[in-house]
Structure 1
Amino acid sequence: MTIAITRHPTNELAERGWRTEEIVQPDGSTVFEDIPLTSEEFLHPEEGYHLPNSTFHDRIAGDIKDILTRRYANDPTTAVFRDLIIRWEIADFKDHCPDTCVVFGIQNKEQVRTEFLVNSEGACPSLIVEVVSPRYRKEDREIKVQQYARASVREYIIFDRRRQRGQMLDEVLGYRLIDNIYVPITPDEEGRIMCETVGLWMGLHDGEVVMVDAQTQERLLRAIELEQWAIQAQEQASQAQEQASQAEQRATQAEQRVAQLAEFLRSHGIDPDRI
């Protein structure tokens, strides 16, 4: 039996995402064809769907997940998930697969999950963060606003970067659930959104994620920044150790010179302790 794979243009698959469909031909051969996702499939993906993922999208979503994961690393009741299918278990309401979500009051945090069943888990995502996919900007910025409100997600934060009049525009949008309706969160003068669920100011600066603790005003470092900080700290420690070693060596040399001078004076009948 012949098996073949038919692919659409790479750029189209990258922009729209895809699913692979098995098609049996009249002659009995099997064709596995990559089919670009529809808007509905993007909104409600299933396992095996390949969602659009640019390098910007992957980096920003990864940084968001990493920062939030470290923030709750020692909290056994708070989990941070990325690209995990959420089964809302609401009648006539389809599932979603958010870039990142934070769930409070979770049980068995370290359990391996291929999907998250809200009713079975007894917990619902309190925060969802999406990085806009250019081909599906309306879906991320408009349609999901209505759908996540219906799912009772307390806050929905959107990271977006787009070209406008020849310049790159960074934007963060936020919505907070009030009386079962999403109300836009007003950004501060730096364009940051105050996310009450996790106590963080969230923003984009020069295409990089910025998260600041609302209480301490401490900026939470991205993974690459932590690595750089660790390297610098190690270099500084090595330099301090080298300086201490050199200082100890100079002190030893000075003591030796004092001892030699004292011996010289004694050899000439002079008591160095009486000088």
Structure 2
Amino acid sequence: MTALSETAPTAIAYDSLNSTLAETGWRLELVTDEQGGEKTLYFPLTEAEFLHPQEGCHLPSNTFHENTRTEIKEILQRRYAQREDVGVFGDLIVKWGIEGLEDHCPDVCVVFGLRQKEADRSEFIVSEEGTKPVVVMEIVSPRYRKADRETKVKEYARAGVEEYIIIDRRRQRGQLLDEVLSYRLEEGSYGPIAPDEEGRIFCQALDVWIGMFEGKVMLLEGATGEPLPTPQALEQLAEQERQRAGQERQRAQRLAERLRQLGINPDEV
């Protein structure tokens, strides 16, 4: 694990777990007291641990962060469900195997050229996989905004990630502002991608537009501009289909009963 800074964070007992740790992220440590008893302590993550987390580090999260990450991952997993060579991962440690570049744990990453899509992975080792993420997406953690918006821009460029997409929600003068930023690799360094007039950016590697609408992330087909269905939208469609099928069954049952009343066997009609 990345070494702690000289000013180590103060441990927090289990019963003190609070919103501060949700904002900073944390790691657990089992310690033995003077009487020989064991106690689990929570240590807030340092910025170095946030940037390069290892197993046992719990990254900061909130409802917007978690909902957005989950929705993007599930939308893209459905988009590439039939592609055996494409994987969409969330919160998976990526080991780049580049000297001087430590591991990252992107909110979402998309990998082309997979050999074993369904393999069980606790980490993604680039040298073993023979490929690496082509797109990385991060939802900004308020406590580490500079790390997400500046430091990782340099580090993902060095890792050779083709496109880095940032989704940032912040409060300014009492108003919530949502912003989508994107960088594309050009000759070894990132160049910013300008958004369109609606604040959306185009992800070339995935052929999708990404934007925010009424506080929620939206992904749209690059060619048609049609929204990619969210898990909620798919569930609504499935529920509508279940209701329609139920109504059809009820109508068929009523018709069959009416035919029987008329002395007609509905199975012979």
Give the TM bin, normalised by the shorter chain: 0.7 to 0.9
One of 50, 69, 81 as aligned partner of 1:61: 69
Q: Does the CA-based 8 Å contact 1:131-1:159 persist in structure 2? A: yes
User: What is the rounded CA distance, in whole Å, between the counterparts of 1:185 and 1:24 in structure 2?
Assistant: 52
Does 1:41 pair with 2:12? no
- Confirm whether residue 97 of structure 1 aligns to residue 109 of structure 2: no
Cα distance change of structure 1 residues 151 and 140 upon mapping to structure 2, 3 Å threshold: same
Cα distance in structure 1, aligned partners of 2:261 and 2:168:
63
Opposite residue 178 of structure 2, the aligned amino acid is D
Q: Which residue of 1 aligns with 2:26?
A: 18
The answer to whether structure 1 residue 127 and structure 2 residue 162 are counterparts is: no
The equivalent residue for 1:88 is 96
C-alpha distance in 2 between matches for 1:22 and 1:211:
42
Letter in 1 for 2:102: K
Is the 1:170–1:206 contact (alpha carbons within 8 Å) kept by the matching residues of 2?
Answer: no
Q: Would the alpha carbon gap of residues 191 and 247 (structure 1) be closer, same or farther in structure 2, given more than 3 Å must change?
A: farther
Question: Counterpart in 1 of 2:9?
Answer: none
Question: 3-state DSSP class of the match of 1:135?
Answer: helix
- Residue 148 of structure 2 corresponds to 140
Q: How big is the shift at 1:229? A: 1.5
Higher-Rg member (1/2): 1
Letter in 1 for 2:231: A
Seq. identity, % = 49
* Distance verdict in 2 for CA 1:235–1:31, change over 3 Å: closer
Q: Corresponding residue for 1:265?
A: none
Displacement after TM superposition at 1:253 (Å): 10
Task: Report the Cα distance in structure 2 between the residues aligned to 1:208 and 1:54, rounded to whole angstroms.
Answer: 14
* Correspondence for 2:4: none
Gaps of 5+ in 2: 1-11, 265-269
Q: What is the distance in 1 between the residues matched to 2:213 and 2:230?
A: 13
Asked if structure 2 preserves the Cα contact closer than 8 Å seen for 1:159 and 1:172, the reply is: yes
Residue in 2 that maps onto 1:231? 239
Q: Which residue of 2 aligns with 1:207?
A: 215
Map Cα deviations across residues 17-38 of structure 1 (whole Å, 9 max, x no partner). Answer: 1011233444444332110001
TM-score normalized by the length of structure 2: 0.86
Aligned partner of residue 30 in structure 2, secondary structure: strand
* Cα deviations by residue, 1:234-261 (Å, 9 ceiling, x for unpaired): 323444565677789999999x9xxxxx
In the TM superposition, what is the alpha-carbon distance from 1:99 to its structure 2 partner? 0.5
Root-mean-square deviation (CA, aligned residues, Å) is 2.4
Greater displacement, 147-156 / 208-217? 208-217
Residue 61 (structure 1) shift: 0.2
**Residues 1:195 and 2:203 are matched in the alignment:** yes
2 CA distance for matches of 1:54 and 1:153? 26
User: Any idea what SS the aligned residue of 2:238 has?
Assistant: helix
Change (3 A) 1:30 1:189: same
Q: Give SS of 2:57's match.
A: coil
Counterpart code for 1:17: G
The structure-2 alpha-carbon separation of the partners of 1:215 and 1:251, relative to structure 1 and needing over 3 Å to count, comes to farther
Moved more, 150-159 or 208-217: 208-217
What is the letter of the counterpart of residue 170 of structure 2?
R
Q: Separation in 2 of the partners of 1:62 and 1:97?
A: 15
AA in 2 matched with 1:61: R
Task: Give TM-score scaled by structure 1 length.
Answer: 0.84
Number of residue-to-residue matches in the alignment:
253
Deviation at residue 54 of structure 1 after TM alignment: 0.3
